[in-house]
Structures are given as structure tokens and as C-alpha cells.
Chains A and B, each alone.
Chain A
Amino acid sequence: SQKIEQNSEALNIQEGKTATLTCNYTNYSPAYLQWYRQDPGRGPVFLLLIRENEKEKRKERLKVTFDTTLKQSLFHITASQPADSATYLCALGNDGGGGNKLTFGTGTQLKVEL
């Protein structure tokens, strides 16, 4: 069965450092992958989308890589700030063929300390 794995343990890093979160998947060939941020008690907020034919995507301090051979995506936040503290979710999706849906990982909690 399809499986998406994100680090279940919280990631604690110091302000100014680069945070790197991982998303691994098995038994899945996604056409694209999305990353969301979720704050406690609130709905996820979209951050970045990367397609299967793209290796890397950037947006301001955020960078996402997508390696379909390793079946892995990495999400980087450079120059991290305490305001970046949240849970980050990856979600995989396919186009058409009944796959009109996203499948989410369980998320990784990031804590950026002063």
C-alpha cells in the first residue's frame, strides 16, 4: 500500500540555521508533490508545489527538491526564524484516473529557537 513518511520527531534548530525536512514515499509514483505549513488548531496553508519532472523549486527562503529515484523530497528553510515554527506537511498527488486527490504525510514539527 502507499506510504508517506515524515519524521515524527520534532526538529529543533537554532535561529539563523537551515532547517531540512524529509518526505519519503513508497509504492507511489506521484505526478507532483506539495508542501504545506500548519499552525496549531488551524488549517494547512500551501507553500510550494514541485512536479515530477522538476528537480528543485525555490520561493524566498524556501527550497524543495524532488528525487523520484530515491522517492524522496527535501524541504529547506534557510535563515530560519522563530516564526517558522510550525508543523510541515508533504502531500503527493496524481492526475486523473481516479487520482484526483492528495495523500498527506503525518507532518514534522519544526521548532526554531532563539
Chain B
Amino acid sequence: EAQVTQNPRYLITVTGKKLTVTCSQNMNHEYMSWYRQDPGLGLRQIYYSMNVEVTDKGDVPEGYKVSRKEKRNFPLILESPSPNQTSLYFCASSLSGVRVRETQYFGPGTRLLVL
């Protein structure tokens, strides 16, 4: 089944404790992206990657890191989480690495609480 998977689905952590949220897709998509969703603010893009070893900042990249060593995986790293990073996070992928007019397929989401 074609899908985007994220792990963990739920995470409670404390301020400053490094964490990684994994994202994997099995559709051989070139483009992958991370979003956060907050009430009243909608989906905001954190980082995106047009292909392996190519990443770029979205609208809200502060406090986050990403890497794209393999085509299928795009982990999101919070080196020192803070309470304002409490949010619902979505990973997404699409076929093209150049144009994002194609459909984006979203993962199930990771709900993060930083105490």
C-alpha cells in the first residue's frame, strides 16, 4: 500500500531533550516536506526536500533540522525542544522534485507535547 508513515504518533518530552520524528514513504517520491499545524494558524511548512541531499527552509524552520540521506526517509530533528514547538506535525511527499503542482500525500501526523 502506497503511504507515508511517521513515528512516533504521539510524544511527550521535556524542554531541551533532543528528539527525532521519522518519516518514510514507499512511493519513490522525490519531494518530501514537513509541516506543523496549530489552531488558527493552519499548516505551515518547516522544511522541504526536492531530492536526496537537497533540503531547504520553509516558512518556520527555526528550532528544527532535517536530513535527506535516502530518498524514502526524511527525519525531523528537534535538537533542543521548547514548549512553543508543541504542535501536530505532518510529513508529506509528492512525485516531483521540481514542481509541487502534483498531489501531496500526507502522513498520519505526530502529536508532540513539550513540557
CB distance from A101 to the nearest CB of B (A): 5
- Asked whether, in the complex, the Cβ of B31 is within 8 Å of the Cβ of A100, the reply is yes
- B105 CB contacts on chain A under 8 angstroms: 46
* Set of chain A residues within 8 Å of B104, measured between Cβ atoms: 34, 44, 46, 102
CB of A96 within 8 A of CB of B33, answer no
Q: Considering only CB atoms and an 8 Å cut-off, how many residues of chain A contact the other chain? A: 26
| Known A100-B100, A101-B58; contact A44-B42, beta-carbon cutoff 8 A | no
Please determine whether A104 and B42 come into contact, CB atoms closer than 8 angstroms.
yes
From A45, which residue of chain B is reached at the shortest CB distance? B106
Q: Are B101's CB and A106's CB within 8 A?
A: no
User: How many Å lie between the Cα of A105 and that of B43 in the bound state?
Assistant: 7
Per-residue contact bits, chain B 40-54, to A (CB 8 Å; 1 contact, 0 not): 111111001010000
